[in-house]
Amino acid sequence: MIDVLIVEDSPSAAQLLSFILTSDPGIRIAGVASNGSDALRKLEALKVDVVTMDINLPGGMNGFETTRRIMETRPLPIAIISSLVVSSGDASNPFRVMVEGALAVLAKPPGPGHPDFEKRSKELIRTVRAIAEVKVVRRSATPARSTPASASPATRPATQPPRVQPQRVIQAGGRYRVVAIGASTGGPAVIESIFAALGPGFPLPILLVQHISAGFTEGFASWLTKATGIPTRVARQGELPEPGKAYVAPDDHHMGVSPTGTIDLNGTREALHGLRPAAAHLFESVARVHGNRAIGVILTGMGADGSRELGLIRQAGGITIAQESESCVVDGMPGQAVKMGSAGLVLTPEAISKKLYTLAAE
């Protein structure tokens, strides 16, 4: 049985979350807290396996601070359940809380009768069940930041990224042309750590599929840009990926590349593994266009999206990397890739960053 503490100041929202979660016979509600202080008090008295956390809380302690305090005192798996971010640059961007130790970010589900109710409810239940298995660790008050893998701080400052002249991907110098990354549950925090270690000026374009609730993609890209220094934005049809920049697949569109290396978005192809965007589509496309000049990376996540298709890059002579299981929030996608023989390398996030820089220099 998974015991959940709901931290939510809106009684109706808390009631809806409770209704959805308890529809799964393996989940029960340990308690409901209306603010951060109430949450900390209840955690001292209750048996809790997972916390769902709102961002906007009354009483002077918002979801960021409450998550930080929990991870410093009684670390638990935390899922942020937030309203959609209206402005990607808003200080309430929910992905900020990932650095405090939260494992997932989800949109608040709509009520019964809404066309997305069943989909969002299943997503919430799957996420709570997945993160309940994660062994979290106590966080220090000031999380450490790793040094860029390519050089010391003296040679690669974290501010003012160097300007990189756009160039045709197919005609770019060096052996490799693109890095394609697929991730799901737990992905944002791992991607943030990899990007931060790469640092500004990484010499290859990065194409990224992150399974995420609709409406959060802009906020995710904005957060990665500010947190890592790697310019990241939602991909646009027909644009040419530039070295040192990252492109996130937009909501409800598969992302791939055209024969000339430009971004190709597809909103009509069916969902793959129940997902659109899917890492499977990205890996298929990159293998077909870039072949042995592609690098594919599959990170933490539920299910098997991209696990087989990563192997297409390997079969074409490219480099394929899977995140090793111990550092994964959920070892579904990378674990399946390893079992299928799709991954040529199995590495920690830190080692992935270092390997990417080594490959980019070839």
pLDDT at 92: 59
Please list the residue range(s) of the chain that carry CATH number 3.40.50.180: 178-360
User: Could you tell me which CATH class the domain 2-131 is placed in?
Assistant: alpha beta
Mean pLDDT, residues 176-203: 93
Tokens found for residue 92: 């309430």
Q: For 61-88, what is the mean pLDDT?
A: 84
CB 210 within 8 A of CB 220: yes
What does pLDDT average to over the chain? 87
Task: Choose between 55 and 314: higher pLDDT.
Answer: 314
Question: Tens of pLDDT along 125-166?
Answer: 999 998 998 888 776 654 444 334 433 333 323 223 333 333
Which regions of the chain carry the CATH code 3.40.50.2300? 2-131
Name the token pair of 61: 């302690």
Instruction: Give catalytic residues, as residue numbers.
Output: 184, 211, 305
Helix (H, G, I), strand (E, B) or coil at 239: coil
Tell me which CATH code domain 178-360 carries.
3.40.50.180
Instruction: Report whether 266 contacts 238 (CB < 8 A).
Output: no
Cβ atoms of 299 and 333 within 8 Å: the answer is yes
What's the pLDDT score for residue 138? 72
Question: Confidence band (pLDDT; 50, 70, 90) for 334?
Answer: very high
Tell me if 170 sits within 8 A of 40, measured CB to CB.
no
Q: Above 60 in pLDDT, residue 87?
A: no
pLDDT tens figures, 210-246: 998 888 899 899 999 999 999 999 999 999 999 999 9
How far apart, in whole angstroms, are the C-alpha atoms of residue 228 and residue 221? 11
